[in-house]
A and B are shown apart, each in its own frame.
Chain A
C-alpha cells in the first residue's frame, strides 16, 4: 500500500529531487547550532569522547527546551571555508560518534529525552577514521539509541546521507524537514558508481528519491516538518519555531508511553522497514 502511494508520488515529481538536494545543502540553511541557539533557553555544549579527542563535526550537549532538559546531538557544518574545514564539512569521525554516545548515556541515566539533528554528507572517510574504528562507532551509536530507555526524536534538517547520518537516526519518531534529503548514498557517490560519472548526480538524485515526500511514503520518516516559505534558509527564526513545535509535540506524546513499551516499539519500527516479496 505504501509502495502504491509511493509510485504515484514518483510519477508526479522527478525534477523535485535535485531541487531538494540543492536546498538541503544551501549554505545559508540553518545548522544544528543555529537551531539550538533559537530553540533552547540555555544550551551547554559538552566536548570530547573521553578517549581520543573532540570532533567538531558533531555538536552535543544539554539544553533547556521549552521548560524541560533535553540532550541534543547533531551534525554541524560550517559556513565559510575556515568553519567548513574546522567542522570537517559535517563529516563525523569515530570520536564524534563516541562523544554522542557519551551524551546518550548521560541522558538515559538522568532521564532526559534525546533529540538528534541530522545534517551530514556522510561519515568522514580517511585513514585515521578507519584506524580509530569508523564502522564500529557508527554501528554502536545506532545500537545505543536503539536501547535507550528515554524518548528519542530524530529530525533530518539538511543532508541525511548514508551510515554517517543513520548513526543518529534511530529514534521513536523520525522527522524530516520539508526540503531535507535522506539517502543511502550521496547522488554524486551513486552517480560515480552506477553511471561511472559523478556529473550524473542529477539523474542519480531522481533515481534515489531522497525527498521528504518519498521518505514519508516509504515509511522511513513519521512526519514532515514544514519550513518557512522558500526554505529554511529564508528565515532561521521561523524555521526554528516550526522545528521546535514539531519536536515538542513528539516529546509530549512519547513521554506518556511506559519506557519498556517505547523501546519495544522503537525496535519494531525499524525491524519492519523494507520491501520484499515472500
Chain B
C-alpha cells in the first residue's frame, strides 16, 4: 500500500527516478554504485562509496596478499574423484566440469608458499566461486598439504577461507575432510608453527567448524557471515527472530570468536604484522608512500598503497596460475 502511494507521488513530481542501470556483478548490492572491472581490481573489490566487500577469487586474493613474484603453487594437479557416483539433478562430475570451465580452477582451493610483507609463509586460499568453496577431498587435502609444507619448511600457515561448508556430493568423505584438516592443524601445533586464519564472506558449516576455527589468530573481513548454521536454516528450524547482525563478523567479534576485523585494504598489512610477530621476526613496517602527507584516513592511504602494489606486480612465479 505505502509503496503504491510513494510511486504515485514521484510520478506527480514529473519524471520520477531514472531507470536503474542494469545490475552487473560489479554493481554494489548495498549502494548500487557501478564499477568498471579495472576499478574493481584497483579497489580490491571494495566499494569506495559504502565499503561493501565484494567476493574475491582465490587467484586475486593471492595477488592482493602475496609479495611480488613470491608465490609458488603446490598440489596444483589435484582434482576430485566421484567416490559416491553422486547425482542429483546433475551428476557430480558434470558439476565439476562446469565449475572448472567457469573458474579456470581444478577445485575450490589454491595452496602454496609465498612471502607476505617479507615473511615466508605457507598459504591456502579457498575460492567461493567454485561450487560455493565447498570442502571435498581436494580442498581438505590442499589445506593439509599447506600445513605439511609449513611443518617441513618451518613456516607459518595462513589460510583464507570462503566456503559454504562440506561438499555434499562427496558424502561422508567430505565430512571426514574436517577431521583431516584438524589432524593437519594438530601436527602444525605440535611442530610449533603459528597459524593465521582469515575468514571472509561467507565461512559456514564444515569449514567454519574445522581448521578455520583453529587459527592462533583469527582475522575476519567486515560484514562477513561466519556461522555454523546459516540464517535461513536457523530461522526455519527454530522459528527464532534473528538479530540483524546474526552470524556476522561484528557479532562474532563481540562474542569473542575473532581477534580482529580488518577491512580488505588493510588486510595485507595486518597479516604481514601478525606473521612478523608470530615468527619472532623484525616488526613489519608498512611501506610509506613518499610525499604522501595528506592527512586522510588510514583506510584511504592503505587503499592507495595497495592500488600501486596491485597494478605493479604479479605474485605468481613464472606466470604460474596467474595468467588465466
Contact = CB atoms under 8 A, between A and B. Distances in A.
B298 interface: no
Interface string A228-240: 0000000000000
Contact of B175 (A184, A189, A193, A266): A184
Contact of B176 (A7, A139, A214, A270): A270
A134 interface: yes
A201 to B, nearest CB: 12
B228 A267 contact: no
Contacts of A277: 78-81
B228 A273 contact: no
Interface stretch (B6-14, B46-54, B86-94, B114-122): B86-94
A224 interface: no
Contacts of B210: 138-139, 142, 163
Interface in B197-255: 205-206, 208-214, 226-229, 233-234, 237-238, 240, 242-243, 246-247, 251, 255
A155 to B, nearest CB: 15
A42 to B, nearest CB: 32
Contacts of B228: 123, 125, 129-130, 134-135, 138, 163
Contact of A185 (B75, B168, B234): B168
Contacts of A214: 172
A116 B211 CA distance: 22
Interface string A39-73: 00000000000000000000000000000000000
B314 interface: no
B123 interface: no
Interface residues of A, number: 60
Interface stretch (A74-82, A202-210, A246-254): A202-210
A270 B185 CA distance: 12
A7 B85 contact: yes
Interface residues of B, number: 65
Interface in A109-135: 123, 125-127, 129-135
A209 B237 CA distance: 24
Given A136-B213, A267-B183, A125 B237 contact: yes
Contact of A166 (B175, B212, B213, B246): B175
A16 B80 CA distance: 27
Contacts, number: 203
A36 interface: no
B178 A183 contact: no
Contacts of B89: 194-195
B81 A166 contact: no
A207 B173 contact: no
A274 B175 contact: no
B129 interface: no
A131 B251 contact: yes
A170 B182 contact: yes
B270 interface: no
B128 to A, nearest CB: 16
Interface of A: 3, 6-7, 10, 123, 125-127, 129-136, 138-140, 142-143, 146-147, 162-163, 165-167, 169-170, 182-185, 189-190, 193-195, 203-204, 207-210, 214-215, 218, 220, 266-268, 270-271, 273-278
A-B CB proximity, top 9 nearest:
A274-B137, A125-B229, A139-B213, A275-B83, A138-B209, A135-B208, A194-B88, A184-B175, A273-B176
Given A134-B209, A194-B89, A270-B179, 20 more contacts: A3-B83, A7-B85, A125-B234, A127-B234, A127-B238, A130-B251, A131-B251, A132-B255, A134-B229, A135-B208, A135-B209, A135-B228, A138-B210, A146-B186, A184-B170, A193-B168, A218-B173, A270-B180, A274-B141, A275-B80
9 contacts: A135-B208, A138-B210, A139-B211, A140-B213, A162-B175, A170-B179, A208-B171, A275-B137, A276-B137
